[in-house]
Each structure stands twice: as structure tokens, then as C-alpha cells.
Amino acid sequence: MTEQNAHAALEEQIDQWRAYVQRRRAISAADVDEMEDHLRGQVTDLTAGGLDDDEAFLVAVKRMGNLDDVSREFAREHSDRLWKQLVLVPDEPGETGRWRELGVVLALAVAAGIWVRILVDASGGDDVVVVRNAVFAVLPFLAGYFAWKRQVSWRVSATLLAVTAALALVVNLYPFEQGPDDGPGMTGFLAITHTPVVLWLLLGVVYAGGAWRSGARRMDFVRFTGELAIYLVLIALGGGLLIGLTVGTLSLVDIDIEPFLEDWIVPFGMPGALLVGAWLVEAKKNVVENIAPVLTRVFTPLTIVMLVAILVALLANGPLTAVDRELLILMDAILVLVLFLLLYSISARDPLAPPGIFDWLQLVLVGAALAVDAVALTAMLTRIAEFGFTANKVAALGLNLLLLVHLAWAAWLGLGFARGRRPFAEAERWQTQYLPVYAVWATIVVVAFGPLFAFA
């Protein structure tokens, strides 16, 4: 064998090795380049030491280590590359595994639907009762899916169930006063709007397989939430279209399916959409992967324009003496929007990429949001000082302050990163560290605001 042929054989072996390594989703093409350089360096040294190409290649590959272990290690470090799986290097699920999982999801969806039906029947036509309890009827089944999938320990599951049951008791047994026109009163309304937040963050514990302290797992849950929201919107659009067509066609032949729609399709369709959506995010992540970050890219510049317009309008039309709590609630909504834009671009960002124009754009976004909020807050504080606190104002103000702290510190860390003073990881860690604060605040609003404000 001539010298050149021998090297050709080596090249072929290295090509094969590359292709084999590249199939691991946790290892990117650049990582393979880096490892190939290593492999070649090793081979060169070994051949210089007297081994022939074949032997050198084998030794070098052997020293590289078990590829499963290495790829698991890569996955641990770059969980964003396969955020969907908690089992980091999963066995490729066979067809049966996938069908079994879908079976579990559908069974849970039907169970949730039956539960919602029972709730609707038991409520005796009281919509407030249905709305108040719907989240308790549906989310535990979604949690059940993840508990099954992640094999969450009994202790964690039991604790979460107990907390959920306690919340359900609080929301249902507190003597909330009725508001005007038969709706819920102020504290009752706050409890209804804040329980889903608490339960959703508790779901995060199950989603993380109990490892809720891990920042990476929390970020996975954030990604999951974003992708699920997008799937839900798509499913709702499709479902709405389908129902509209059916109703339209059947009304032509004088069949009114509205009662059937209200009694069966809605109670089964909504939890069904949620569970199937969750399953889709888990199973089909490659199809609509990372839509949320794409949307954030589109909407970040637009939101900046909006915020600047608002800021100018607020400053030009001031003094803001005629504003009421609606302004505060709007401000909360704007800050939440900005927070989501920030969170989803962070969740999708390659932590190793150098700071770029988009990072500065985000800083402008957060800065503009904080400026708008500052103007609105000063106006609100004078108003509140004048007219006193109500449950609504305190809830809105509290959320505003939490968001303010979250965004202000995120901006500070982001500035440090954009100027090359801090690693991106710090900005990322702050986001995940802060998440439980919202769970605590929402719990306080649900549990303590009733007694504090005399259930008004």
C-alpha cells in the first residue's frame, strides 16, 4: 500500500467518525470540528511514535471516550440544544413507546374533560364557580402526564397535590363577596386570576421532574410554556374554524348544535387541546421549534416603537391627574409583554455568542419600558396616596414593583454583558432565579388578600 492510499483510508475513517458523531443532537458541527482537530492531532503524534494510521486512529478514537457519555456531557452543558428532553440522551423511542404516550395523553384528556363536565353540572349554572375551578380541574391532569413521563417521585407529587388541594379549598371556601352584576368581587376576582399563575409554576416543578432548583430545567419550562402557548393558539384557530364551518353548514338544514357544543365540545375540547398541545411540544419539537424566539425578534423593535410613542404621549399630555388603576393594570400588561420578549430571546440565545446589535436593542426595549413605567407610577402613587388602597390597587402595584425589580436588574446585567463585562450566563441565571418570586406573590394574593381586605 502506498503512502497516499494509506492516508486516504485514514481520511475516510475520519469522515465516518465525523458523520457518526454529528448524529448526536447535543454535539454541534463546530464541536465536531473541534474534536476532529483533537483526533487528528492525536493521530499525528501516535503515527510519529511508530503506529500506523489504522492503529493510531483506533487508539485516538478510544481515548476520545464513550460517545454516549461524551454526548451526555455536552447535553448537560448545552441543554438548549435539546431542551425538550429531560432524559438527556434518550433511547430512540420506538413506535410502540410513542403510541403508548399518546394513549396516556388522550386518556388524561378524556379524564380531564369528564371532570370539567362534572364541574359544570355541579356548579348549577354558576359561571363564577366554573371559572374559579376550571384550572383545578384541568392542570392536575397535565401535571399527571409529566409526572408519568418524568417518573416524578411520590413525595413530590403528593406535596404538590396537597398544595393544590389547599388552594382549591381556599378559593372555594373563603367568603368572597359578590361584586356588582353578579360577577366576583374584587378579592374574589384577584384570587381567580392569580390561582392559574400559582398552579402553572407548580406544574413547572413536575415538568422539571422534581429538579425545580436547576436553572437549566427552569429555562426548559419557560421554553415549554412559550411553545405550548403557540401550539394552543394554532389548535384554537383550527378548532374554531372547524366548529364555525360545522355550525354554519348545519344551521342551513336547521340543526342547532349549540347545546351540544356547550355541553360536550367545549368541556372536552379545551383540556384536550391543552394536553395534546403539551404532548406536541414534547414529541414534535422539531416541527415548530423555537417559534417563540422568532416572534420575539419580530416584535422587539415594534414594541420599542410602541413604548416610545406611549412615553411621548404620557409626557406631552400630562399631568396625569385623571388616571385611575386601569393605567396601572395596563402598565403591568406592558411590563409582562416586555418581560416575555426578553425571556424568550434569552431562552433561545446561544450563551456563547458574542454580544450583538440585538442585545442592545433589548436593552433599549427594557429601558423604554422602565421609563414609561416610572412616569405612570409617579402619577399613580400620588393618586393612591389621595384615595387610599384597595385590593386591586395593591395587587396591581405589587406586581408592578416585582416586574420593575426583575426588569431593572435584568437591564443592569444585560448592560454588563453587552459591554463585555459579564458573561451571558449571569443574565440568564437572574431570569430563572427570579421566577419563584411570582409564585410567592400570586400565592399571597390568593391566600392573604381575602382576609386582608375583608373579602371585598
Partner 1 sequence: MHIDKDLVAASATPLVLGILADGESYGYAILKRVNELSGGRMEWTDGMLYPLLHRLERLGYVKSSWGTSDVGRRRKHYAITGTGREALAERRQQWAVVSEALKQVWQDALPGPAVAEGWA
User: Contact between 359 and partner 1 (CB under 8 A)?
Assistant: no
Query: Interface with partner 1 includes 356 (CB under 8 A)?
Result: no
Q: Are 344 and 295 in contact (CB under 8 A)?
A: yes
Stretch of residues binding partner 1 (CB under 8 A), selected from 59-67, 155-163, 325-333, 404-412: 59-67
The DSSP code for 285 is T
Q: 221 to 280, contacts with partner 1 by CB under 8 A? A: none
Out of 196, 239, 351, 367, point to the residue binding partner 1 (CB under 8 A).
Answer: 351
- If the CB atoms of residues 262 and 426 are measured against partner 1, the closer one turns out to be 426
Given the complex with partner 1, which of 76 and 100 has the nearer CB atom? Answer: 76
Interatomic CA distance for residues 199 and 170, integer angstroms: 14
Residues contacting partner 1: total by CB under 8 A: 31
Question: Contact, 137 vs 113, CB < 8 A?
Answer: no
| Dist. CA 221–CA 349, nearest whole Å | 15
- Choice from 11, 15, 34, 324 touching partner 1 (CB under 8 A): 34
Q: Which of 2, 3, 4, 30 binds partner 1 (CB under 8 A)?
A: 30
Rounded Cα distance between 422 and 141, Å, is 42
At its nearest, how many Å lie between partner 1 and the CB of residue 80?
Answer: 11
Q: Would you count residue 38 as binding partner 1 (CB under 8 A)? A: yes
- Binding to partner 1 by residue 63, rule CB under 8 A? yes
Compare residues 31 and 227 and give the one whose CB is closer to partner 1: 31
Minimum distance of partner 1 from residue 35's CB (angstroms): 6
**Residue closer to partner 1 (CB basis): 57 or 231:** 57
What is the distance, to the nearest Å, from the Cα of residue 456 to the centroid of all Cα atoms in its chain? 33
* Binding flags for partner 1, 367-406, as an x/- string (CB under 8 A): ----------------------------------------
Q: Which amino acid is at 90?
A: P
Among 70, 201, 205, 366, binds partner 1 (CB under 8 A): 70
User: In one letter, which amino acid is 21?
Assistant: V
Element holding 218 (H helix, E strand): helix 215-252
List helix spans (H) across 124-212.
127-150, 154-173, 186-207
Amino acid at 112: A
Residue whose C-alpha cell is 421554553: 223
What does the block give as the cell for 316?
A: 406631552
Query: Nearest CA to 438 among 222, 230, 284?
Result: 222
Residue 354, SS3 per DSSP: coil
Q: Taking the complex as a whole, how short is the minimal distance between the CB of residue 24 and partner 1, in angstroms?
A: 11
Question: Which stretch, 58-66, 175-183, 217-225, 356-364, contacts partner 1 (CB under 8 A)?
Answer: 58-66
Binding mask 294-313 for partner 1 (x = CB under 8 A): --------------------
Cα angle vertex 251, ends 245, 252, to 5°? 95
Quick check: 13 binds partner 1 (CB under 8 A)?
A: no
The secondary structure of the chain in percent helix, strand, coil, rounded to multiples of 5, reads 80, 0, 20
**Shortest distance in whole angstroms from residue 350 CB to partner 1:** 10
Q: What is the C-alpha end-to-end distance of the chain, expressed in Å?
A: 92
Instruction: Examine residue 11 and tell whether it contacts partner 1 (CB under 8 A).
Output: no
| In the block, residue with C-alpha cell 446589535 | 357
Instruction: Decide: is 29 part of the binding site for partner 1 (CB under 8 A).
Output: no
What is the binding site for partner 1 (CB under 8 A)?
30-31, 33-38, 40-42, 45, 63-67, 69-70, 73-74, 76-78, 351-352, 422-426
